[in-house]
Amino acid sequence: MPVVRSSQAVTHEIHGARFVSYATPRSGSKELCAWRGEIPAGTRAPAHTVSREEIFLLLVGELLITLDGRAERISAGDTVIINPGATLTVENPTDHTAISWVTTSVGLEAQLTDGTTLTPPWAN
């Protein structure tokens, strides 16, 4: 039985946010990836289009999520379903770090608006 202890989680930092990876093929998962996102106050991630469905649960704080041009403020306990092909921007306009839990299927890629493709190690 694969058990990933909190001390074994792998941390990645990009675009001002921290991604703490728990479930990936490297940790024993076959189909799904899961990570905790830490989005500091004032952070605005670049817009990106995702190749796989993501389920984004906000655990702590508030965020401004823009999905395909539609902005929505979410609070702790809210879940956003991000379909493949959707363009997403995450912004923390508050004074406190927001914490999320995200799941997706193995193989997620994100294409930035400048055409760069990102294959996040916390989702592969």
Half-sphere exposure of residue 35: CA atoms within 13 angstroms, side-chain side: 27
**Can you tell me the distance from the alpha carbon of 108 to that of 27, in angstroms, rounded to the nearest whole number?**
16
The pTM of this model reads: 0.94
**Residue 81, helix vs strand vs coil:** strand
What rounded mean pLDDT belongs to the chain?
A: 96
Homologous superfamily (CATH) of 6-123 is Jelly Rolls (2.60.120.10)
pLDDT tens sequence across 27-53:
999 999 999 999 999 999 999 999 999
Exposure class string for 66-91: b at 16+ Cβ within 10 A, else e: ebeeeeeebeeeeebebeeeebbbbb
Question: What is the pLDDT confidence band of residue 1, given thresholds at 50, 70 and 90?
Answer: low
Domain ranges of the chain: 6-123
Q: State residue 2's pLDDT score.
A: 82
